[in-house]
Amino acid sequence: MSLALREYDFERRFDERRALEWMQENWSKSFMFCGLYARRPKLNLRRPLVLWSLSLAIFSIIGAFRTDCTCYTSSQPAASDSPVCDISFYSAPVSKFWAYAFVLSKAPELGDTVFIVLRKQHQVAGGGWFMTMNYVVHSFMYTYYAARAAGLRVPRPCAMIITATQIMQMVMGLAVLGLVYHWMHEVRCPSYMDNIAWGSLMYLSYLILFALFFYNSYLKGSSGDKGSKAE
């Protein structure tokens, strides 16, 4: 039994074809955002940081809710028996808007924008999973950032849980790419080797970085403290 989401007018009327054309024509602008970010001076803007993080948290929470449900309840027939290969969310009434909003959000976040636009490849298998995982993780992450920027004391376990979810996101990303690679030669699991290779490199590098951060921040120090107390 599937749970149908209510379709809002702005989601239903969103023209995904025109949006895709615009992205294909303007993909190079992402490098401008990267350049502006790299050259900006360090500023101490606590209140704008709270508002910025809070707005991204709210955006991610809404996006997670709208895409998490529609990934499996699209009103259109699935492109494959496997949900990993289903690309109908790119054109489904609700998720098509949030898929486009997700890609645009990568510009100010400056996360994996370059990997999305370098090849100008869109609508590949697995994209819905990557998008939903990112929305969910960023819901927790930016809520945490907003609380910290506002001067609230956040318990240490919260930071550990957020880092753990980031690690799980990278593991899931690699797993999805592995399944796409396994099924990509089938007619209904569209993807490209370049997309899988760059995506795997991105997820693997993030996995190593987050795993090292988790170990150095939460495990290494704790084991050292226990050893000192034992002595």
Determine contact, residues 58/146, Cβ cutoff 8 Å: no
Q: Is 122 a catalytic residue?
A: yes
Helix (H) or strand (E) segment spanning residue 226: helix 220-230
Task: Say how far apart CA 61 and CA 55 lie, in whole Å.
Answer: 10
Q: HSE on the CB side for 167, CA within 13 Å? A: 14
Among candidate residues 107, 112, 105, the one with its CA nearest the CA of residue 200: 112
From the list 122, 138, 182, 185, the catalytic residue is 122
Which residues fall within 8 angstroms of residue 154, CB to CB, at 6 or more apart? 144, 147, 148
27 burial (CB, 10 Å; 0-12 / 13-18 / 19+) is: middle
Determine contact, residues 198/119, Cβ cutoff 8 Å: yes
The two tokens of residue 199 are 């995506």
Enzyme catalytic residues: 122
